[in-house]
Amino acid sequence: MNSTELDRVFAALADPTRRALLGRLTEGDASVAQLAEPFAMSQPAISKHLKVLEGAGLISRSRVATARYSHLEAQPLKEATEYMERYKRFWAATFDRLDAALAAFQSIEENEDHKENTHD
Amino acid sequence: MNSTELDRVFAALADPTRRALLGRLTEGDASVAQLAEPFAMSQPAISKHLKVLEGAGLISRSRVATARYSHLEAQPLKEATEYMERYKRFWAATFDRLDAALAAFQSIEENEDHKENTHD
DNA sequence: GTAATGTATAACCAACAGGTTTCAAAAAGG
DNA sequence: CCTTTTTGAAACCTGTTGGTTATACATTAC
């Protein structure tokens, strides 16, 4: 079946090599050779990983002479993060008083637009 | 190779059926049969998905009579979200002055990297 | 103890993922 | 042009994923 961009973003992030490539790209654009250098892996393997990242919208690419530079595109990460924010209120539901206070605060934040909760 | 929990969390989230299962579990714990009901898929297929979710730490399970109930465990989602928030300043939808300054600085760095082909 | 219920496991399969090596192709330099 | 540099693409191999059906297992009900 056709995969969505969310599918592809999470699948892309599931591989540690690809996460490392993204990490490297936070330091600036880089050619395939530069990206491949730290890895005990062939150049075509890195090219494949880059293709996956591009398919997920996580990088864009451009030519400079014979080299092809990858550029980080973090917008899909924003969308993936927003997806996971749905679960924020399930994080750390118990344990110490700080956690409880934070959970309570987050509950209030979520309902701040119209729900008045003056007692409990 | 041994996969990390981050690997397993992102891999678990890459499948839309599993994301739907997690979504259902935000409404409360549920048995395998209850979880399977909305899907055009066999019970063993759902059991496999639940096993993947459990392996990623995203659910825990307990018995009630012959049924096995799944419970959402969102802590790994928190860690995955924190990982992605490393990239927050790159999904620059709204630039503040610090973001703008950093972006400008990186543009300069990138430019010099691209030009530096005559040096070794 | 036996039957019924709910779920897990086994065996199987097609498709995909992640790596390899080899070769083709695009751009710059002589 | 021809060559070099850098990258992409093809063909291949292996292990994994996501599904199936059939069956075994654990627990409750009778």
Q: How far is CA A96 from the centre of its chain?
A: 30
User: Predicted confidence band at B41 (pLDDT cuts at 50, 70, 90)?
Assistant: very high
Q: Which residues are in reach of strand C, CB within 7 A?
A: A 11, 14-15, 17, 40-42, 44-45, 48-49, 52, 63, 65-66; B 31-34, 43-44, 47-48, 50-51, 61, 66-69
The CA distance from A116 to the nearest CA of chain B, in Å, is 23
Model pTM score: 0.80
Lowest mean pLDDT among A59-68, B9-18, B107-116: B107-116
**pLDDT-derived band of residue B91, with 50, 70 and 90 as boundaries?**
confident
Q: What value does the mean pLDDT take over residues A45-63?
A: 96
Q: Is pLDDT above 60 for B94? A: no
State the nucleotide closest to A14 in CA–C1' terms.
Answer: C17
DSSP class of A93:
-
For residue A68, list its beta bridge partners. A63
- Compute the Cα dihedral for B113, B97, B81, B18 and give only its sign: negative
The Cα–Cα gap between A100 and A95 comes to 7
Contact between residue B10 and residue A14 where contact means Cβ atoms under 8 Å apart: yes
Per-residue model confidence (pLDDT) at position B97 = 53
| CB burial of residue B5 (10 Å; 0-12, 13-18, 19+) | middle
Q: Does B15 touch chain A (CB under 8 A)?
A: yes
Evaluate if residue A62 carries a pLDDT over 70.
Answer: yes
Distance between B109 CA and the closest CA of chain A, angstroms: 7
Residue B90: pLDDT over 70? yes
Q: Indicate the SS3 state at residue A25.
A: helix
**Residue A39 reports pLDDT greater than 90:** yes
Q: Which residues on chain A are in Cβ contact (under 8 Å) with B106?
A: 28
Q: What is the DSSP letter of A41?
A: S
Measuring CA to CA, how many Å separate B82 from each of A12, A77, B38? 17, 11, 31
Q: What is the pLDDT of residue B2?
A: 83
Nucleotides of C under 7 A from a protein CB: 4-11, 17-22, 26-28
Is the pLDDT at A98 greater than 50? The verdict is yes
What are phi and psi for residue A11, nearest 5 degrees? -65, -40
Contact B113 A64 (CB under 8 A): no
**What average pLDDT does the segment A53-81 reach?**
95
Residue A2: predicted pLDDT: 83
Lowest mean pLDDT: which of A33-37, B17-21, B100-104? B100-104
